[in-house]
Structure 1
Amino acid sequence: MIYDNHAGQAPARPRFEPVLLRSFIAVVEARSFTRAARHLGLRQSTVSQHVARLEALAGRRLIARDTHRVSPTPDGDALLDFARRLLEAEARIDAYFAASALRGRIRIGASEDFVFSALPEVLADFAGRHPEVDLELTVGLSQTLYAGFDAGELDLIFAKRRAGDRRGRVAWAEELVWIARPGKRPVAGQPVPLVLYPPPSVTRERALEAMDRAHLPWRIACSSGSLSGLRAAALAGLGFAAHAARLIPPGLAPVPPDAGLPPLGLTEFVVIGPEGRHPAAALAEALLSASDRIRSAGITPGGG
């Protein structure tokens, strides 16, 4: 703990270290110390120690723990917003003073999931801070982006976690949900019409596996390689799509749980790229620090 020991002055409050705040945010978002540790690449005991130190510094209970769930206390909810803003400010400060050293080209690949998110604004902010860096953006399916990265055609990818691939840093984890035109529900006794990306697609695989596990008949009502195409088909009422809960395209809404469609589980969005002095490493930090801004922008009033 760091205190001001000048004579006649009250001691300063101890510093809330970024590493402690990152662990706290991960626990709140994952609702689990175990999942938070996995996302951060740390031991569970280390994450628990970070939260305990943070609670000692705050002098407040920040996380409520019981046998069923882990959730923030009212003080924890208050700290959560402050913590996110502090970490984002720290990233902006680092980026600002490193601006003169950044130059070159970054070939970034972004998942179709981000078409209607704030990702373009985040990239524009980065380009404005680093005018000597040229950005080349490729939007595509996550599986295709992995192939491009592995082939050396992309420097950085921002996509859904591929099954069995543990590379990258987790920006966030959230539920995949079924979405459709508001009010649309499956018709009993008929195959469920699905609106899906073509293979290879992480989301397509998850959706079909869930349908098969639930022994529900299905048919492909529309297949499109773009999120704009899937949105148009879903808006037309052609069928149901699987999508990240906080990145739902405008005009569409989550299908109610009582509609009978199977749960799709969690998916992780990861940033995979180089480290060190490569310009792409700075962009990766910017994306991770702006993750809350990117995912929250996908929710539109009245449209899911």
Structure 2
Amino acid sequence: MLNPVWIQTFATVATARSFTDAGRQLGLSQSSVSDHIRRLEDSVGRRLFIRDTHSLRLTADGEALLVHARLILEALARAESQFSAPRLQGRVRLGTSDDLAQGPLPNVLAAFRDTHPDVELEITIGMTGKLYELVDAGMLDLMIGKRREGDRRGVSLFRGPLEWLARPGTVIDVRQPLPLILVNEPSVTRSIVLATLAKAGWPWRVVCASSSHSGCIAAARGGLGITVRAQALAGRGLVPPVNSQELPALPEVEFISLAAGRLSEPAETLLTLLRKSDLRASRTD
């Protein structure tokens, strides 16, 4: 068994090249330092130092153990730091659009929960437009979703184009109004799509509306029509129509994080984690 106290003494002696100096740094007598080294050598069954009246140097086994000793001491320091730090407590009210919630967000939240188990998470999933309203009303601490047109608040997480999606093998009859599957208002995606079609002079009809992107995906997988999603997020079994190049090109959207005016320490901590994480989903989902 490698006693961490002996390991600390060994590493200090190896650096100081002196039992006396190591004892001074550790607040130990020279005899205690010698005892720690003897016990460590007995434990590993190897000689760690070559000592004479004028010098002290590591053996080959000592050099090898020093590498492990430093890793062990670094790991112990990290563990002590984590568990000696005050534990975060409180509640964080997070709002997220459901297209982000279906990506890697659960993994990010799980990592936060593992590190800060005393923090209560209250999660609201909804359309981005509604989330803006909840932040402004003081009912959410943080939100992540698409940037609303004309609103410059928030910090960018990522951006990418929207794309048309439908059941595999779908060919759109471009002579007819586009059969749209869209989320209900207030929706950033819906507003962008309808504005794009209106500007292009392209006729459409909403064949299905849903309160969530999940509902739109289900309807599109059932072949009811064509829906839209950010290219950076998973389509869950949907692909662009066979003749998607004939359809109006859709613009980019930007996903942002938006925080309330004053945040608690738990909310600030989660916000930092979200901004460091890549919330784009795998295309294979």
What's the counterpart of residue 92 of structure 2? 106
Q: Pick the aligned partner of 1:295 from 277, 280, 284.
A: 280
Count of residues paired in the alignment: 205
Q: Deviations over 1:145-169 (max 9, x none)?
A: 0000100110000010011111111
Q: In the alignment, is residue 141 of structure 1 matched against residue 127 of structure 2?
A: yes
* Distance 1:258-1:199 versus aligned 2 partners, 3 A rule: closer
What's the counterpart of residue 247 of structure 2? 261
Aligned residues: CA RMSD: 2.3
Q: Contact 1:116–1:249 (CA<8 Å) still a contact in 2?
A: no
Looking at structure 1, the residues matched to 147 and 84 of structure 2 have their Cα atoms a distance apart, in angstroms, of 29
TM-fit CA distance, 1:99: 6.5
Note the residue ranges of structure 2 that are not aligned, 5 or more in a row: 1-78
TM-fit CA distance, 1:188: 3.1
SS at match of 1:216: coil
Q: In the alignment, is residue 189 of structure 1 matched against residue 175 of structure 2?
A: yes
Q: Deviations over 1:59-117 (max 9, x none)?
A: xxxxxxxxxxxxxxxxxxxxxxxxxxxxxxxxxx9x96896352100000001211320
Letter of the structure 2 residue corresponding to residue 133 of structure 1: V
SS at match of 1:295: coil
The two structures have a TM-score, normalised by structure 2, of: 0.67
Percent of aligned positions with the same letter in both sequences? 42
Q: Contact 1:115–1:227 (CA<8 Å) still a contact in 2?
A: no
Q: In the alignment, is residue 168 of structure 1 matched against residue 160 of structure 2?
A: no
Q: In the alignment, is residue 240 of structure 1 matched against residue 226 of structure 2?
A: yes
Letter of the structure 2 residue corresponding to residue 281 of structure 1: E
Q: Pick the aligned partner of 2:136 from 139, 150, 156.
A: 150
Q: Pick the aligned partner of 2:206 from 204, 211, 220.
A: 220
What's the counterpart of residue 284 of structure 1? 271
Q: Contact 1:149–1:156 (CA<8 Å) still a contact in 2?
A: yes
Looking at structure 1, the residues matched to 84 and 150 of structure 2 have their Cα atoms a distance apart, in angstroms, of 35
Letter of the structure 2 residue corresponding to residue 182 of structure 1: P
Q: Pick the aligned partner of 1:117 from 87, 98, 103.
A: 103
TM-fit CA distance, 1:134: 0.5
* Distance 1:117-1:191 versus aligned 2 partners, 3 A rule: same
* Distance 1:276-1:190 versus aligned 2 partners, 3 A rule: closer
* Distance 1:246-1:217 versus aligned 2 partners, 3 A rule: same
Q: Contact 1:186–1:259 (CA<8 Å) still a contact in 2?
A: no
